[in-house]
Amino acid sequence: MGSESALTSQIADSLLAKEIVRYLVKQRLLGDLRVLMAVKEYFVDSGSPSDVARKYGLGRYHVRGYVQRLLGKARNNHAFVADVISSTYKHICELNPIILPIGGRYYCMLCDEWFRSKYMAFSHLENVHGDLVTELVNKIVWAGVRP
């Protein structure tokens, strides 16, 4: 019975890790390395939201929003998020963006489409290129996170 519980816990942790990595991969594919660097500095390097926001030119409340999103995916387990980020950060940073922010708009290089907002580009990435995102997430999780 104990081994079943441990296995269930490992599977749950793996699914949580995939959700965290998926969010970070989508940020990177959107060409937003600042978000990735900011959450790494907050979770892994223990930076304050205000200091991290100032350093990366982000709003303090935006940083807090990113932090809350990741904590929500990890059931408020700060250490778990920090472990996932520290073990996958290098792999995520190596990805090339497929959507580029240009002049306040976003351009998808795979579809040759323009979007007016980051939200629209984020939705496009999930809805049209979701299979690519899933493939990248699986590769990164297997390369970086040890069960």
- Chain segment 22-55, per-residue pLDDT in tens: 999 999 999 989 999 999 999 999 999 999 999 9
Predicted local distance difference test score (pLDDT) of residue 12: 56
Using a 10 angstrom Cβ sphere, with 0-12 exposed, 13-18 middle and 19 or more buried, the burial of residue 101 is: middle
Predicted local distance difference test score (pLDDT) of residue 144: 62
Type and span of the H or E element at 6: helix 2-29
| Residue pLDDT, tens place only, 115-135 | 999 999 999 999 999 999 999
Dihedral sign from CA coordinates of 93, 36, 32, 111: positive
Q: Is the pLDDT of residue 147 over 50?
A: no
Distance CA(51)–CA(44), nearest Å, equals 14
